[in-house]
Amino acid sequence: MSAEDLENYETDMELALYREYRDVVGLFSYVVETERRFYLANHVDLQVRSAAGEVYFELSLADAWVWDVYRSARFVKSVRVVTFKDVNVEELAKTELDLGGGTAFPR
Domain boundaries, the chain: 3-91
CA-CA-CA-CA torsion sign (67, 70, 76, 78): negative
Residue 10: what pLDDT? 87
**Residue 66 main-chain phi, psi, to 5 deg:** -110, 130
Residue 106: what pLDDT? 47
Whole-prediction pTM value?
0.78
Mean pLDDT for back-to-back runs of 10 residues, the chain (107 residues): 86 92 94 95 97 94 94 93 95 65 48
Residue 107: what pLDDT? 44
- Rounded CA separation 42/61 (Å): 8
Residue 7: what pLDDT? 86
Q: Which of 20, 42, 17 is nearest to 31 (CA)?
A: 42
